[in-house]
Amino acid sequence: MKRTGIILLLLATFCVHAQKKPNIVIIISDDHAYQTISAYGSKLMNTPNIDRIAKEGVLFNKAFVTNSICGPSRAVILTGKYSHKNGFKDNENSVFDGNQNSFIKELTRSGYNTAWIGKWHLESIPQGFSYYNILQGQGWYYNSDFITEKEGKHVKMGYVTNVVEEEVEKWLDERDTTKPFCLIIGHKNTHRVWIPDFRDMGEFDDREFPLPPTFYDDYKGREAAKIQEMSIDKDMILGYDLKVWDDKEAEDRDGSVKRMTPEQRAQYDAYYDKIKRDFHSKNLSGRALAEWKFQRYMKDYLATARSLDRNIGRTLNYLDIHKLNENTLVIYISDQGFYMGEHGWFDKRFMYEESFKTAFLMRYPGVIKPGTVSETFVMNLDIGPTVLDAAGVKIPGDMQGRSLLPLFKNKFRRDAVFYHYYEKGEHNVSPHFGIRTKRYKLIRFYDKVNSWELYDLKKDKWEINNLYGNKKYSRKIAGLKHKLKNLIIEYDDQDAMKIFEMPIP
């Protein structure tokens, strides 16, 4: 055989071998509450496309985040490290250091074609990717600014989830098909201020949603909960959040509205002007006003979730049509949980279950049995190691997460999870860290509030009865503190250790 023929044969063999490595698609949504996903048992709406991932793979029923806030969660996913190790602790003061290692850099070095398209929210330009096309900052629901290496900042007209999906499919169409790929899709939805796609406006207007049992929580025995500023009643803004403006000029200046074309603005006004007129005719106050705000919040939030689920369906359909589904690992995760009126709240941040727990589903044909439901503790910290394991790439020793693939061979165990939230500004949530075991949760608040909280999740699923200080639980508290200290040492969280050892006055 001539030398040229041998080289071509070797190249062909290499390409075939390379494509045996799985493709990887990671879909990260923003503030998408697991309580609104039908695969998790929600009756609020149907999410058939997210549910499909569960039916064809695994639903993690005990998935948690290390730090319940948008940017830090993404940094944890990228690096496989807690916030105190990757440096991105909060959204107020942090900028992601792209010089540090990430699972993406490991994949790119090993021959993967890598891309991040959509919401990035890490205050820096992505490094280590073959391609990026990211929203500037938070992005907007209509006509967002995007940033690419070649084009710089530029506007893409249209509704943000649709535009992100269009850019995803364009990249997939144009990619180098001789290489396996890892694609991260960052969706803005369902982030505040919840403006739906026009086709989804009014989708839930005929529904009356039940108030959560803790909607009128009095926060007895929970000092940090008392001082928060994330109440639907007191802190949700009629104009900014619910589009019920008293002042037309203020509405015209609103960033989301100002970006719309005249045609888009006309459709927006046609829907929300009716709601404004109806609201002003009611002259609501007290609990009636709080409950009206809750209903409007739910309807807009769920409508933004509708377009999110629909575009996830488009991604899955693309994989099917192009015969990529059998060799592609698909992960869906929200950057954290979110409050849908529980404790009277919206937003996230607290270590209470609704924001600490996140939606997390994964499909991997031939590895994960369809319809699997896992009750094992898993974390967003585990995504990087899992992906590297699937790709046959060595997991760096400083990654603090663990590959989840052994879980499907009954070789994975985690008895407790550790959490640390840092941000001090928006919504006035006191920083805190803590531990969750199968039955109990122990939290140490500091800075704004100095206190401990203990919950028996078997008896108190809503986390309203703080048992810390109850003598009946003194031995349990001592045991949990010992476990918490061990996790602090394991993850080398020196700030937490200083606070842990500091007595409360």
The pLDDT value recorded for residue 504 is 87
Give the helix/strand (H/E) hosting 225.
Answer: helix 223-227
User: Judging by beta carbons within 10 Å of its beta carbon (0-12, 13-18, 19+), is residue 178 exposed, middle or buried?
Assistant: middle
Q: 447: how many CB neighbours lie within 10 A of its CB? A: 12
The pLDDT value recorded for residue 505 is 72
Q: Tell me if residue 41 falls in helix, strand or coil.
A: coil
Entry pTM: 0.95
Kindly state the tokens that stand for 174.
């144009």
How does pLDDT run across 91-147, given as a tens digit for each residue? 999 999 999 999 999 999 999 999 999 999 999 999 999 999 999 999 999 999 999
Exposure class string for 243-259: b at 16+ Cβ within 10 A, else e = bbbeeeeebeeeebbeb
Q: 22-407 maps to which CATH number?
A: 3.40.720.10
The pLDDT value recorded for residue 17 is 41
The pLDDT value recorded for residue 393 is 98
The pLDDT value recorded for residue 260 is 98
Strand 63-64 with 113-118, pairing: unpaired
How does pLDDT run across 157-201, given as a tens digit for each residue? 999 999 999 999 999 999 999 999 999 999 999 999 999 999 999
Instruction: Identify any residues that bridge with 59 across adjacent strands, giving them in sequence order.
Output: 361, 373
Return the domain boundaries, the chain.
22-407, 421-500
503: which residues sit within 8 A by CB, 6+ positions away? none
Q: 421-500 maps to which CATH number?
A: 3.30.1120.10
pLDDT beneath 70: ranges in the chain = 1-19
The pLDDT value recorded for residue 212 is 98
Same fold, 22-407 and 421-500: no
